């Protein structure tokens, strides 16, 4: 079987390469997109599509891994061009009516909200499809299978197309270069136990190519997922070591950055690559996410 070609579109978020991808897959009657990127990169998205000889109106299907602004921000805009948007049932109401999502993001990003993320338009109900676990969506001769993969967010879906899986954020963040992964441990829905199960499910789906949204396609899915699992285990061990003394969050952020730095060096990364990861994925937010997970999930159990 010849593999369907997957084209990463670099949206050059904040003029940065290799930060946020949308994935383009051409099919018999048009094309599909996995992720749309944020509202702030719509112009780049249109330009990249044009580079493939396509206009936004050629996009029949949009597959969203989860509704965070860097993944789904332009879903409403794409729906306005005629695409059907596919998302987890728990994420669907937020695409129909993004107000709550936007106000909680605004608490985090303040007056940089618009600059960073641009417009997040609602998806009209007739353009929205909520997908169950295991559901197969056919698009111009291609089949995309939804795999519900909670852990980073409760409503996270990984999309399997033949031998490639689009893993959103659940497989971690990886940029081209030496094999290394950063796990985006953001509040408020982080759940390490569910995350581990999701990685195991992906591992048992046995695909060869893994395509994290941040960033690009790698032909070593098995090794990638194994490394992600190891990093998750190490992080969990770190959490149960440091959290019981309940350090203030500033201290915790410091300790977390130091732990990741040590881990990256141990995995053979050089300083320059570590810095690139810091820029792509600021670490402090992970400390906040882990603290919340400890308090609301582990301690509450």
Task: Name the closest residue to Zn ion (Cβ).
Answer: 68
* Min separation Cβ 71 and Zn ion, Å: 6
Distance CA 49, CA 38 (A): 15
Distance CA 136, CA 48 (A): 27
Token pair 């580079």: residue: 51
Segment interacting with Zn ion (CB under 5 A) among 64-72, 101-109, 194-202, 224-232 = 64-72
CB atoms within 10 A of CB 69: 22
* Min separation Cβ 270 and Zn ion, Å: 27
* Min separation Cβ 142 and Zn ion, Å: 25
* Min separation Cβ 213 and Zn ion, Å: 8
* Min separation Cβ 235 and Zn ion, Å: 16
| Closer residue to Zn ion, CB minimum distance, 185 or 207 | 185
26 belongs to the binding site for Zn ion (CB under 5 A): no
| Closer residue to Zn ion, CB minimum distance, 26 or 182 | 182
Segment interacting with Zn ion (CB under 5 A) among 65-73, 187-195, 239-247, 276-284 = 65-73
| Closer residue to Zn ion, CB minimum distance, 26 or 68 | 68
* Min separation Cβ 149 and Zn ion, Å: 12
169 belongs to the binding site for Zn ion (CB under 5 A): yes
Segment interacting with Zn ion (CB under 5 A) among 83-91, 104-112, 119-127, 168-176 = 168-176
Task: List Cβ neighbours of 225 (8 Å cut-off, separation of 6 or more).
Answer: 171, 199, 202, 203, 210
Distance CA 292, CA 299 (A): 10
| Closer residue to Zn ion, CB minimum distance, 68 or 94 | 68
* Min separation Cβ 170 and Zn ion, Å: 9
Distance CA 276, CA 173 (A): 12
| Closer residue to Zn ion, CB minimum distance, 35 or 169 | 169
68 belongs to the binding site for Zn ion (CB under 5 A): yes
CB atoms within 10 A of CB 242: 19
Segment interacting with Zn ion (CB under 5 A) among 48-56, 62-70, 243-251, 279-287 = 62-70
86 belongs to the binding site for Zn ion (CB under 5 A): no
* Min separation Cβ 59 and Zn ion, Å: 22
| Closer residue to Zn ion, CB minimum distance, 10 or 169 | 169
156 belongs to the binding site for Zn ion (CB under 5 A): no
- Which residues here bind Zn ion, judged by CB under 5 A? 68, 169
């Amino acid at each position: 079987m010849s593999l369907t070609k997957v084209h990463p579109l670099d949206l050059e978020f904040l003029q940065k390469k290799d930060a946020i991808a949308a994935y383009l897959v051409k099919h018999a009657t048009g094309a599909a997109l996995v992720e749309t990127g944020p509202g702030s990169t719509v112009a780049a998205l249109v330009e990249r599509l044009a580079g493939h000889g396509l206009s936004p109106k050629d996009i029949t299907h949009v597959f969203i891994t989860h509704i965070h602004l860097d993944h789904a921000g332009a879903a409403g805009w794409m729906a306005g061009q005629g695409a059907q948007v596919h998302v987890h049932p728990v994420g669907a109401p937020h695409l129909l009516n993004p107000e709550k999502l936007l106000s909680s993001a605004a608490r985090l990003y303040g007056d940089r909200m618009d600059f960073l993320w641009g417009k997040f338009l609602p998806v009209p109900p007739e353009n929205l499809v909520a997908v169950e676990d295991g559901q197969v969506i056919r698009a111009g001769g291609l089949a995309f299978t939804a795999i519900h993969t909670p852990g980073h967010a409760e409503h996270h879906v990984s999309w399997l197309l033949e031998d490639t899986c689009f893993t959103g954020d659940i497989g971690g963040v990886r940029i081209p270069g030496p094999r290394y992964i950063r796990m985006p441990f953001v509040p408020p829905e982080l759940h390490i136990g569910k995350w581990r199960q999701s990685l195991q499910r992906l591992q048992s789906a046995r695909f060869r190519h893994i395509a994290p949204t941040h960033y690009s396609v790698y032909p070593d899915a098995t090794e990638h997922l194994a490394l992600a699992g190891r990093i998750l285990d190490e992080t969990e061990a770190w959490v149960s070591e440091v959290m019981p003394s309940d350090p203030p969050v500033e201290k915790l952020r410091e300790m977390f950055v130091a732990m990741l730095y040590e881990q990256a060096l141990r995995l053979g990364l050089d300083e320059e690559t570590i810095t690139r990861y810091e820029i792509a994925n600021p670490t402090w937010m992970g400390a906040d996410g882990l603290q919340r997970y400890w308090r609301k999930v582990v301690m509450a159990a």
